[in-house]
Amino acid sequence: MVSTVSQLFDNDYDDEGFRTCSVTGLEIHRSAENHVKLFGLTAVIALVVGGFFAISVAMTRWEVIGLMDEADYYRHLSMHAWNLLIFWLVFMEIAILYVGGPMVLGRRLPLTTVAKAGWLLMVAGAIGVNYFIWTVSGAEVEPLLTAYVPLNVPTGFYASAVVFLLGATVAAVPFFATIWKEKRWGTRKTLPLAAFGAFVTGIIAVQAILGGISAFSYALVWKLGIIETINSGAYRTLFWTIGHGSQQINLLAMITVWYFLTHVVGGAVVVSEKVSRSAFILYLFFINLGAAHHLMADPALGVGWKLFNTSYAFYGAAFASMIHAFAIPAGLEAGRRQRGLGGGLFGWLTSAPWRNPVFSATIFSIILFGFVGGITGVLMGQLQLNMTWHNTFATVGHFHATVAVGTTLAFMGLVFFVVQTMFRRDFVSGVLASLVPYFYAGAMGIATLVMIYLGILYGVPRRTSSVVRNIPGADFSISAAAPLMSLFGVFAVLAILAGALFILVTLGSLLFGARLDTGEDAGLRPDGGLKPDGGESVHAVDMRGTFAMCLIFMATFVALYVINWFLLVQLWSIGA
């Protein structure tokens, strides 16, 4: 077993520790590759833990089964949330920084001791958070992701959260050192787009993490009795820089992965480097301000502050997303048309390698994130519309659309990619691997949609396990929501099965998959290779397929916008 695991960290490197990737053509150093594997595998373990608690959470909210009582449900929900929203994603994001930095730039990972120290701190913090959530008793309560003070949560929880966040900051240092070295001694005038995206992701991550360290440290010193009182408004504002900022790290990391994977397995080109870079810069200034939408119902904050963050600042971030939403499919369309791979409106898309799970996971992530997560994010991020979404199950639907479908699917694709290109293992079953993105995207996509409609249609609250029979403390029931709740339960179970299949294929391939020989590309290279075969310049290529998809997207956006405003007007009977 030990030898099997140690073999996972072994590849054929030259005397200087480099090897050439047979898929991407990148010069990869052992130090970078092994740390990507280390952080990636840890992320998958967190996914297993969080996914396990998805079973109990879903089986409780599906009230026909009603697996647990309220207190146990909250404990399991906390385990589910921390392991999936934070640990699975942040460990993956550090791995992505090492791919986007040293790997793309063809450098060794500097400060490997620091990287290992960061990993150790992160693991210690993650174990601590899990321990304190699981063992909480007496007057103390389980801290969900939104562990607002003065909620009486264990002191060790705050300390563990700080340790984890410090670890993530430490782990990011070697990445920034790589970028600094590249700019100081490198020969490139500009960073490649993937490295640039990773760099902006890193900056946003540090910004968010520092906010998180501030928030949890503030709560920690209050819990230790070093300070008597705490300003809960200030805590909430600080908390959301990590609470929502962590999801913005996901967004940027995911978009970087989209650019990277559509290029290496789909043959996409970058239509305009400047435009895509400008979109990343817009994120840098505006995306973290999106955290404000959690505080729209907070009486402590001024309306001016809320309006600025949810309109002017918000447009900057939404505009950036629109640019990526066009640039990535346009790059795919242009790249494939340049190779002569697809006529008609969508031939370039349907002729793509859909049996390759890396490709299908990436494309489903783009589509579902854009249509479900992105649009709902803009809707509920608005000051006025936030009132109809706030703290309903629709909010849970929104972040499952962004994180569980969008980011997780993209990262699943990346894990499959890493299994074949870095661990050099073939899938233990190609058919099952191909099935995973379809199964997961379909089941989780529908479960997510149902959550959104349950929140909007019935106002089902987000954190109460018993909804159909009773909402504690309220005089009304929403038993009419029972059919949709059952629909949610069925698709949640299917999504969990799809997630389990992903884990089985990944771990099965690592342990029992056939070793890929040096130079073998496992069918990952796009038709015609990575470079377009000449012909028309990218600006002369027909991109009407992307244009048509963008029109469909805009029509959906407008329709949902109008419906949501109409519902809001009906609730308040404006003008009546």
Q: What is the DSSP letter of 461?
A: B
Work out which of 26, 141, 317, 385 binds other proteins, going by CB under 8 A. 141
Q: Which of 318, 344, 322, 319 is nearest to 333 (CA)?
A: 344
Work out which of 53, 280, 326, 371 binds other proteins, going by CB under 8 A. 371
Residue nearer to other proteins on the CB measure, 18 or 346 = 346
CB 182 within 8 A of CB 107: yes
Residue nearer to other proteins on the CB measure, 281 or 568 = 568
570 binds other proteins (CB under 8 A): yes
In the complex, what is the shortest distance from the CB of residue 486 to other proteins, in angstroms, rounded to a whole number? 12
375 binds other proteins (CB under 8 A): no
In this chain, which stretch among 56-64, 293-301, 427-435, 439-447 interacts with other proteins, using CB under 8 A?
A: 439-447
Sites for other proteins among residues 446-475 (CB under 8 A): 446, 449, 453, 456-458, 469-470, 472-473, 475
Residue with tokens 């799809």: 498
Sites for other proteins among residues 42-71 (CB under 8 A): 70-71
Token pair of 369 as six digits: 């994130």
156 binds other proteins (CB under 8 A): no
Q: Rounded to an integer, what distance in angstroms lies between the CA atom of residue 259 and that of residue 270?
A: 8
Work out which of 484, 493, 524, 538 binds other proteins, going by CB under 8 A. 484
Residue with tokens 């709902």: 376
Sites for other proteins among residues 485-544 (CB under 8 A): none
157 binds other proteins (CB under 8 A): no
In the complex, what is the shortest distance from the CB of residue 137 to other proteins, in angstroms, rounded to a whole number? 11
Token pair of 204 as six digits: 């946003």
Token pair of 544 as six digits: 């009407």
566 binds other proteins (CB under 8 A): yes
| Helix 482-512 × helix 430-458 angle, to 10° | 160
CB 49 within 8 A of CB 83: yes
478 binds other proteins (CB under 8 A): yes
Residue 392 DSSP SS3: strand
476 binds other proteins (CB under 8 A): yes
CB 352 within 8 A of CB 262: no
Distances in Å between the Cα of 238 and the Cα atoms of 213, 230, 245, 308, 513 are: 9, 12, 10, 18, 46
135 binds other proteins (CB under 8 A): no
In this chain, which stretch among 205-213, 332-340, 415-423, 444-452 interacts with other proteins, using CB under 8 A?
A: 444-452
Number of residues interacting with other proteins: please give it, by CB under 8 A: 39
Contacts of 1 (CB under 8 A, 6+ apart): none
Residue nearer to other proteins on the CB measure, 145 or 457 = 457
429 binds other proteins (CB under 8 A): no
By CB neighbour count within 10 A (0-12 exposed, 13-18 middle, 19+ buried), where does 125 fall? Answer: buried
Residue with tokens 């029931």: 477
CB 237 within 8 A of CB 296: no
Q: For binding to other proteins (CB under 8 A), which residues are involved?
A: 70-71, 141, 344-346, 349-350, 354, 371, 438, 442, 445-446, 449, 453, 456-458, 469-470, 472-473, 475-480, 483-484, 548, 556, 559, 563, 566-567, 570-571
